[in-house]
Chains A and B, each alone.
Chain A
Amino acid sequence: MPKNLIFDDKEVAFLRELKRQKVQFMIVGLSAAALQGAPVVTQDIDLWFKDLEDPNLRKVLKKVGGILVPSIGLNPPMLAGDAVKLFDIVVHMHGLGSFDEELRKAATVNLGGSRINVLPLSRIIKSKSVLGREKDRIVMKALRDALHIKQAMFIRRRQT
């Protein structure tokens, strides 16, 4: 893989190792939408973990040279280290069910040879509509269009 790529081998290795160690997580937010083809931009990759206290998570972080920085004041917990600096931790998804409930509806994408769980477009839209932040309102059109396009392609696939 060429060097100086944003999101390269080390990030893929982190996700692959999370899967290997059976850490339960899914990619959420606009990075999840982008993975499903939505024409959006994002500055980081949001990860929703079932349990931040999972010892296997710490094992994975140690292996890739990262650490989990616990929540300080109003700041949520975060990941630090070269291989994990693009990832953000999401501790709660507004407007959605529990992690296990959402995991049952999760989509999967192939990243570096591993099938990674991602929050489906419809659930991303649900969560952002509840949050109601200005930056979310701006992106909603692209997300809704992406969902309609995917549904139209699914209908087409069933007709073929």
Chain B
Amino acid sequence: MKISMQKLGRICLERKTSLSEVLVQSQVSRNALYSLARKDSVLPRSIDAIAAHLNVRVSDFLEEEDVLVAKSRLLLRMVNRIAEKHPGIDRDNIRHMFLLLEEKPVERLRRALVRAQKPDIR
């Protein structure tokens, strides 16, 4: 299985974002991506060998991690990275800010205004 830069570019276009922005948000360097893209397979040779022997596609015996789980892991990695560089920063603030930056500005403002309203406690 190899990386298709064309498919990646198309997805970025559909999401109205740039590859540069995606790399920043995923904390992946450009060098790392292009190095992987040059390989004939991004999987270990042993996995390709097993698939070839069984005459199946590797995707037939690979399971994808749940998207939400993968996203959460990535978010926590980013939180850890920033927290390590800035020990005084509140981790919750880092996490909330990353989540807010995924929203459009108008949504960020709505959340700030809604949270400031008096709670309806029954």
Contacts and interface: CB of A to CB of B under 8 A. Distances in A.
B97 A149 contact: yes
B116 interface: yes
A120 to B, nearest CB: 14
B93 A146 contact: yes
A156 interface: yes
Contacts of A44: 113
A6 B85 CA distance: 37
Contacts of A90: none
B97 A7 contact: no
Interface stretch (A18-26, A35-43, A50-58, A72-80): A35-43
B86 interface: yes
Contacts of A37: 97, 100-101, 108
Contacts of A160: 20, 23-24, 28-30
B29 A6 contact: no
Interface in A134-152: 141-142, 145-146, 148-149, 152
A103 interface: no
B111 interface: yes
Interface stretch (A60-68, A93-101, A106-114): A106-114
B113 A43 contact: yes
Nearest to A7: B110
B88 to A, nearest CB: 8
A7 B113 contact: yes
Contacts of A109: 105
A18 B110 CA distance: 20
Majority SS of interface residues in chain B?
Answer: helix
B85 A41 contact: no
A45 interface: yes
B60 interface: no
Nearest to A159: B29
Given A34-B109, A145-B89, A148-B82, 17 more contacts: A30-B112, A34-B112, A37-B100, A40-B112, A41-B115, A42-B113, A44-B113, A145-B97, A146-B97, A149-B89, A152-B86, A156-B24, A157-B20, A160-B20, A160-B23, A160-B24, A160-B29
30 contacts: A6-B110, A7-B110, A12-B106, A34-B100, A34-B109, A35-B105, A37-B101, A39-B92, A39-B93, A39-B96, A41-B112, A41-B116, A42-B112, A42-B116, A44-B113, A45-B113, A86-B113, A110-B104, A110-B105, A111-B106, A145-B97, A148-B86, A149-B82, A149-B89, A149-B98, A156-B27, A157-B20, A157-B24, A159-B29, A160-B30
